[in-house]
Amino acid sequence: MSVKFLRPFGLLALVAALLFAGVPGSFRASAASGPDNGEDGYVTDEVNVKLLRASDLQAVSAQYHLQLVEQFGTRPIYRMRVTDGIDSKVKAAALAGDVARVEYAEANWTAGSPEGSGVIWSVGDGWDQGVIWSVGGQTQYQRQWALDRIKLREAHRATKGAGTIVAVLDTGVDRHHPALAGRLLRGHDFVDDDDDPSEVLPQPCAQSTDRAKCGPYGHGTHVAGIVALAAPEAKIMPLRVLDPQGVGNTWVIAEAVRYALDPDGDPSTDDGADVINLSLATVHPSRLLHDTIGDACDNGFASPYAKVVVIAASGNRGTADTMFPAGENFSGELSVGASKSDDTLWERSERDDIVRNDVMAPGVGITSSVPGNGTGVWAGTSMASPLVAGLAALVRAASPSMTADLVKDRIRDTSDRPAPEQFVKRRVNAAAAVTPLVNMAVNPIDDTRSFVRQQYLDFLNRAPDKSGDDFWSNEIDQCGGVKACVDFRRVNTSGAFFLSIEFRDTGYFVYRLHKAAFGDISAARPVPVRYEEFMPDTQRIGEGVVVNSQGWEQKLAANRDAFVLDFVTRTSATGGRNFATQFPAGTGAAAVVDRLFQNAGVAPLAAERQALIDELTPNPDSPALRASVLRKVAEHPALVRQELNRAFVLMQYFGYLRRNPDDAPEANRDFAGYNFWLGKLQENNGDFHRAEMVRAFIESIEYRQRFRE
């Protein structure tokens, strides 16, 4: 596994790692050897260099004893390793003096979550500086003081952010957390350079019962949960840029910002973020980050991409020092301070001139998701920033043509001014920012492009490719506004996503895999998988897959192979079911095969059964052999035919309503609704038009209230 950054020596630039006075000194020492003095916090043998001409790379490398690590896209910007033992700051200074060939050179500065590793763990309902984790807390998450203070519920009557994407650059996310189910897009891990942006436990935490050793673990999941709370219909693009100790560097952060603008590398695809949240900070200004973030959000920078809104935490040192990237002061960037429940500025929030002129938002005692399906309470500007990022998504959803600089102005100009006046004069007001922009008589899902885009997001877990978006939108628009035609083609369009090759090779495959591994959940719950299990599993298989794009079949095959192998070996899973428990070590080959077919409800031919037994017999405990046998049962033609209608009905709940058939508001009806629609579909031989199933779901009040209450 390639690691995209090296750990720095000396002090870590976790600018607020030592903010929490209650953290034992021994733990502080494990995160940093002293307070950040603005001089340390960099990778000592790496420099980031921008040349005036790419043709000078070889000569510059030879003269200054540098080895190329990687290039920043196609630009003449390079991450270079210093090979002669000279400290990278000294080397950068020498390079910067070569004005004939070098535009800039700098050490690869480190950055981290402003909350650093000042974390307090316990069981309970209170909160303190840092974070307290507890079991449950969903009610507290959905009804906390911050929502009322910034009038989020009123804003949600106008829009919930549907169709927008918020990139979260952080420590990663717990992709199995129920609060994030259905809200996460495919992301990327820029630390380990792979497609799995999951949070990673720091080794001291994994090897100890002392939760204080877990550092900033959970920070990214907490931040993502706040975005989901503020903009519940926005999609979140998780980008891991901070390691298990909460440390990243300017190169990986810049890479992630660039990725957020165009994840698939095709400018014609509308898959870039509308908002980027940066709940991270450093004391070190960086030309690389300055230029990259400027490209993303500032009108003064030429860029092939539409400008996005960048929201950055101002920092938690409680000083007048400017932190970065919040201190860049770009036209489309907001620096966010943290306010308390009495509308005063949090004591530890930064007090520099940039944030003074921007905004603050609730950042103290904020409840959100934490790894392991629980909730936790955290304090910091990192919590205030995603509330504003979610608000920016609401504004962009309410007024899609509004440019990034105008979104920034809108949020600032509609903010409340608490009395007495605070250092940061404005505290955001979501309702004031959003409601006047919206025609309340029109639901955004009625717009053709919005409707088509939502089908991609809900069923394929990605933004639409241009050709697909154009095709399905044109199919509907050709009706010329004739209602009967529009209604029919909207149903046809939506139903086609379940029947598409892409979904059947991802989501339907996951459904059948769970069916073969576990059978139905129970007689009262006649389905094999729950929503909170299905979504992250489907996402993993679909990472980077767009049908008919170059290499998609190979990518899908590799994803499925890796997923099935993980599926048979993982020891924990949402819902508490895992293959290793169902088929413990020592289970014989015949017993495994027979149980799989029994779960699937398929009677195999004798030769089919024997072939799988023979395959597994050499080592029935082998993960690779178990994965191969499970996959073959899941792909059995009889199972594919048998479960098609059942899966189609279940996907109505998963895709349109984002819930299980027996979740509220049908919690007391068991599977009555599911059984009704399954009966209708079977009566009509799978014809979803005649069954009126898809139409009923997309015209339901519950579905339409996802986009506006």
What amino acid positions are annotated as catalytic residues?
A: 170, 219, 382
Q: How far is CA 447 from CA 156, 419, 490, 638, in A?
A: 18, 42, 11, 40
Three-state DSSP at 434 gives helix
CA proximity to 189, closest of 151, 220, 148, 165: 220
User: Is the omega angle on the peptide bond into residue 420 within 30 degrees of 0, that is, cis?
Assistant: yes
Give the dihedral of Cα atoms 525, 516, 196, 221; nearest 10 deg.
Answer: 20
Is 141 in contact with 178 (CB distance < 8 Å)?
no
Residue type, 388: V
Contacts 24+ apart (CB under 8 A), 297-300: 297/330, 297/331, 297/332, 297/333, 297/404, 298/330, 298/331, 298/332, 298/333, 299/331, 299/332, 299/403, 299/405, 300/331
Structure tokens at 459: 């069923």
DSSP 657-698: I-S-TTSTTSTTSTTHHHHHHHHHHHHTTT-HHHHTHHHHHH
Order across the sheet with 131-134: list the strands.
Answer: 131-134, 374-378, 366-370
Q: Which residues pair with 237 in a beta bridge?
A: 167
366 phi and psi angles, rounded to 5 deg: -95, 125
* HSE-up (13 A, CA, CB side) for residue 83: 11
Residue with tokens 């070569």: 98
- The pairing of strands 131-134 and 374-378 is antiparallel
Residue with tokens 């230029």: 291
Three-state DSSP at 38 gives coil
DSSP-derived secondary structure letter, 422: P
Is 335 in contact with 358 (CB distance < 8 Å)?
yes
Neighbour-count burial of 389, counting CB atoms closer than 10 A to its CB (0-12 exposed, 13-18 middle, 19+ buried): buried
CA-CA distance, 584 to 596, in Å (whole number)?
A: 13
Contacts for 395 with CB less than 8 Å, ≥ 6 apart:
402, 407, 410, 411, 433, 434, 437
Contacts for 23 with CB less than 8 Å, ≥ 6 apart:
117, 118, 119, 120, 130, 212
Residue type, 581: T
Three-state secondary structure string covering 133-190 = EECCCHHHHHCCHHHHHCCHHHHHCCCCCCCCEEEEEECCECCCCHHHCCCECCCEEC
